[in-house]
Structure formats: structure tokens, C-alpha cells
Amino acid sequence: MSRKLKKTAEQPGRFGPYGGMFVPEILMEPLRELEREWRAAARDPKFRRELDGLLKQYVGRPTPLYHAARMSAALGPKIYLKREDLCHTGAHKINNSLAQCLLAKRMGKQRVIAETGAGQHGVATATCAALFGLECVVYMGKVDMERQALNVFRMKALGAEVVSVTAGQQTLKEAISEAMRDWVANVRHTHYVLGTAYGAHPYPEMVRDFQSVIGKEARRQILAQEGRLPTALVACVGGGSNSIGLFHAFMKDRGVGMIGVEAGGLGIRSGQHAARFAEGRVGVLQGTRTYVLQDDEGQIRLTHSVSAGLDYAAVGPEHAWLHDTERAEYSYITDDEAIDAFHKLARWEGILAALESIHAVAWVIKHARRRWTKKDVVIINLSGRGDKDVQQIAAWEAKHRKS
Ligand SMILES: *Cc1c(COP(=O)(O)O)cnc(C)c1O
């Protein structure tokens, strides 16, 4: 028994008992090749230089670490917002898409594919494919295409082909399955740009690496601006990339708390949510072993969130491990609380945040007074801007707040 556990721990891409490579045999070699190429690129000064140059000149990094003074005064602790919403295309997703497209070019692939839910990862990937002259196909559920017509237009304008996926719930989970099917068939000349710290190894670790620029900057910035490390970091958790990107550089700073916020949807008791750590159980989905929302037969449960980017039944495997080891803490925020926080942040700071990011803001609004005092410093990752969500918010309010 103990030997078996030891063996598990030695397998590549494991975070404790989580992660791994649960894929069809035909994808094992492409995944191994991807890992080799990524590790070689990471050691190559020319690749690093080109990536760093583009992150600066094209994406607009470093993003500011902004002291939210009016929000701080209202809530107690000194609150900073890491402004990923100011990245080109409006969210952190481009940090990862840019690096993976550059890697695809280095590997000699002429075609990239991606899955997308709300469309943010599709837009980021279509953008970077245009930048490097790569062919780009984005898989998107039919329902999501209707909900996110603006992002569909953006992807097409950028030269990408958007394929409507009509299987199952016609949303993100089915889009990932379709993208994997495409990859199996076209792997020789195609790279699959996965959009979050999820899926089979090496994706969770590779995407974390590409997003860890967020935390590296934030750590340097808070030391320069405050002369100390923060009390806590707070970020929303969909697949888990913006949160792990912020957390990673602080992992060894044991005094820095880490809080991941999931989508509580209509509340845990309603069953309509995407709070994997509230009700999920360990299972295997789309290449990885992690916490999954499933029924007693192991069927994947339907999920709900007002925020499309958090609306998924499983969570990145490293978060499962951080949860079990209690290095990070996980909580959730309901749709209602998120919409309230959207308006509060807009009035306090003049910032319209993405519905995903606002879950982290809402958690701080809800818990700051009980947890912290004026002496504490808190960093919230503002993963994206809210322009994409204004229609969704208007529709939500028309439906739920008729009064
Ligand atoms: C996609 C998205 C998320 C959720 O994905 P993670 O991988 O958990 O970061 C969060 N915020 C924004 C703005 C997004 O577009």
C-alpha cells in the first residue's frame, strides 16, 4: 500500500494524489513532446526574451498594483487590486495564450485550436494566432455562442474559425471534448492551447508557469509599495489559472494567506452552482484527477453561475492539493452577492470588473471586517474587465430584481 502511494507521488504531473495524464494512448506521446518542448523553451534565453518583450510591448505588462483607497476605507484593511483587467484583450488569459502560441511557433506547428466558454480564452488565442500568422480554430458550445455574440464577432474579426458545438449541454465541457478530438486527429501540425491550469499533464504546470508572472510582479510591487508582504491574496477560481498565477510566487511565504473563491450560483442548497470544494468529490474528468461535481453514479452534474468563466464542474488539480493540505482556503460567493459587489466596486473605484473577478471582490466585501484590521494588507486579483458582462448583468437584474 505504502509503495503504491509512493509510486503515485513519483508520476509526472502529480500534485499529491491529484493531476496525472488520464488520456487515450494516442495523446501520450504528443503530451510528452509538449512537455519536452516547453521545458526546453523555458531554459532558452531567446524564447524568454521574446516572450518577455511581447508581454511588455503587446500585452502591456507589468500591470499596476493599484491601492483601492475608497474601498479600503469602507472595509478596513488596505486593499490592492492587481489590474489584469488592463491587459490587452481585457483579462489575464492572454498571458497564457501568448506563451503557448509562441511555443507552437517554436515547435513548427502552423495551426492552433482552443476551447472557450465565455469567449475570453478564444479571443486571447485568436489574437495571438493573428500576431504570429497561425491558423486558428476555436470550439465553443452553441449556447455559449448565443450568450456571447460579441466575443464570437471578435474571434471571427481576428481571423479565427469558430466551430459551434451542439453535443450535450452545448457549453464549455463539450467544447473541451471537441477540441481534444480535433487534437487527436491533427496533432502533427496542430497545438492545443488549453485555457486554464487544468487537464492532463503538462498543462496544469505549464499554464501555471505562464500565469505566474502575475504573482511575481505583485510580490515585487507590494514590497516596493508597502515594504512588506501582504496578509492575504484573494482570487476567483474557475479552472484555476489566475489564482494559481497570483499564488505561486508566494507559496513559500508561509505567513501569506491564500483564498480561492468559487461560484456559489443560486446557493449550495439549490444545487445550482459550481462550488467544487463545497460539494465535489474526487474523480477523473478530461485528463485529470481532481474535485468534480458529480452525482452518485459519477455522472457530471449540471453547473450554474452568473459568470460563465467560473461555470465548470471540475477544478485544476493543484488547487485540490492546496485545499487538502490547507495551504489555501476555498470559499464561494453567490450570483446575488457578485452582482452587488459589481456595483459597489464601480462606485468606489470607477472600475467595472468582470463577473468572474468580482467573486473575489465580493468575498472581501463580505469577510473583511471580521477577519482583518487597518494593519492588514490584502491583494485581490482583478482578473478581467466587465465590458463583456454588461448585457448579462442587465438581463439578470431584469429577471431577479423586478421588485
Ligand atoms: C476565464 C476567466 C476566469 C476563470 O478562469 P481561471 O483559469 O480560474 O482564471 C476568471 N476571470 C476572467 C476574467 C476570465 O476570463
Model confidence pLDDT, tens digit, residues 5-14: 444 445 789 9
371: left (phi over 0), alpha (psi -120 to 50) or beta: alpha
Which one, of 210, 226, 220, 187, lies nearest residue 79 by Cα?
Answer: 226
Ligand 1 center–CA 393 separation, angstroms: 17
Task: Tell me: pLDDT of 62 over 60.
Answer: yes
Which one, of 79, 58, 54, 57, lies nearest residue 67 by Cα?
Answer: 79
Output the domain CATH number for residue 159: 3.40.50.1100
Ligand 1, atom nearest to 245 Cα: 9
Considering the domain architecture, whether residues 166 and 27 belong to the same structural domain is answered as yes
Give nearest CA residue, ligand 1 atom 15.
Answer: 120
pLDDT given for residue 403 in this prediction = 53
Ligand 1, CB cutoff 6 Å, lining residues: 91, 93, 120, 196, 236-243, 309-310, 354, 356-357, 383-384
Q: Which residues lie below 8 Å from residue 219, measured CB to CB, with a gap of 6+?
A: 229, 249, 250
Considering the domain architecture, whether residues 185 and 318 belong to the same structural domain is answered as no
The owner of cell 450554474 is 304
Q: How far, in Å, CA of 248 to CA of 238, rounded?
A: 16
Ligand 1 center–CA 126 separation, angstroms: 17
Residue among 310, 356, 363, 388 to mutate when testing ligand 1 (max atoms within 8 A of CB): 356
Give the total number of structural domains in the chain.
2
Considering the domain architecture, whether residues 39 and 78 belong to the same structural domain is answered as no
| pLDDT band for position 321 (cuts 50, 70, 90) | very high
Considering the domain architecture, whether residues 31 and 129 belong to the same structural domain is answered as yes
Q: How far, in Å, CA of 11 to CA of 94, rounded?
A: 30
**Contact criterion met (CB below 8 Å) for 33 and 60:** no
Which one, of 71, 70, 67, 69, lies nearest residue 80 by Cα?
Answer: 67
Which one, of 374, 378, 377, lies nearest residue 361 by Cα?
Answer: 378
pLDDT given for residue 400 in this prediction = 86
Ligand 1, atom nearest to 240 Cα: 8
3 in any annotated domain: no
The owner of cell 453567490 is 334
- Single out the residue in 186, 207, 228 at which a domain terminates: 207
Distance of CA 108 to the CA centre of its chain: 27
Ligand 1, atom nearest to 243 Cα: 9
DSSP string, 44-96: -HHHHHHHHHHIIIII-PSPPEEE-HHHHHHHSSEEEEEEGGGSTTSBTHHHH
Encoded amino acid at 53, one letter: G
Considering the domain architecture, whether residues 267 and 385 belong to the same structural domain is answered as yes
Residues in the chain, how many? 403
Considering the domain architecture, whether residues 76 and 43 belong to the same structural domain is answered as no
Ligand 1 center–CA 27 separation, angstroms: 26
Give nearest CA residue, ligand 1 atom 1.
Answer: 309
4 in any annotated domain: no
**Least confident stretch, 8-12, 77-81, 296-300, 332-336:** 8-12
Residues classed as catalytic: 93, 115, 383
Cis peptide before 62 (omega within 30 of 0): yes
Is this model's pTM higher than 0.85 or not? yes
pLDDT given for residue 402 in this prediction = 60
Considering the domain architecture, whether residues 223 and 258 belong to the same structural domain is answered as yes
Task: Tell me: pLDDT of 324 over 60.
Answer: yes
Give nearest CA residue, ligand 1 atom 14.
Answer: 309
Angle at CA of residue 166, ends 200 and 123, nearest 5°: 60
Ligand 1, atom nearest to 85 Cα: 13
Distance of CA 260 to the CA centre of its chain: 11
Task: Tell me: pLDDT of 4 over 50.
Answer: no
**Least confident stretch, 206-220, 266-280, 362-376, 386-400:** 386-400
pLDDT given for residue 103 in this prediction = 98
Considering the domain architecture, whether residues 165 and 41 belong to the same structural domain is answered as yes
Give nearest CA residue, ligand 1 atom 4.
Answer: 238
Helix/strand/coil percentages in the chain, nearest 5? 50, 20, 30
Considering the domain architecture, whether residues 98 and 84 belong to the same structural domain is answered as no
- Provide mean pLDDT across the span 47-63: 98
**Least confident stretch, 200-209, 274-283, 296-305:** 296-305
Considering the domain architecture, whether residues 217 and 352 belong to the same structural domain is answered as yes
pLDDT given for residue 7 in this prediction = 44
pLDDT given for residue 6 in this prediction = 44
pLDDT given for residue 215 in this prediction = 99
Q: How far, in Å, CA of 290 to CA of 276, rounded?
A: 10
**Contact criterion met (CB below 8 Å) for 31 and 200:** yes
pLDDT given for residue 10 in this prediction = 55
Ligand 1 center–CA 7 separation, angstroms: 33
pLDDT given for residue 169 in this prediction = 86
Residue among 262, 383, 385 to mutate when testing ligand 1 (max atoms within 8 A of CB): 383
- Single out the residue in 159, 181, 207 at which a domain terminates: 207
Ligand 1, atom nearest to 237 Cα: 8
Question: Domain range spanning residue 98?
Answer: 10-55+93-207
Task: Tell me: pLDDT of 2 over 60.
Answer: no
Residue among 171, 310, 322, 358 to mutate when testing ligand 1 (max atoms within 8 A of CB): 310
| Helical H segments across 148-212, by residue range | 149-157, 172-186, 203-211
**Contact criterion met (CB below 8 Å) for 34 and 205:** no
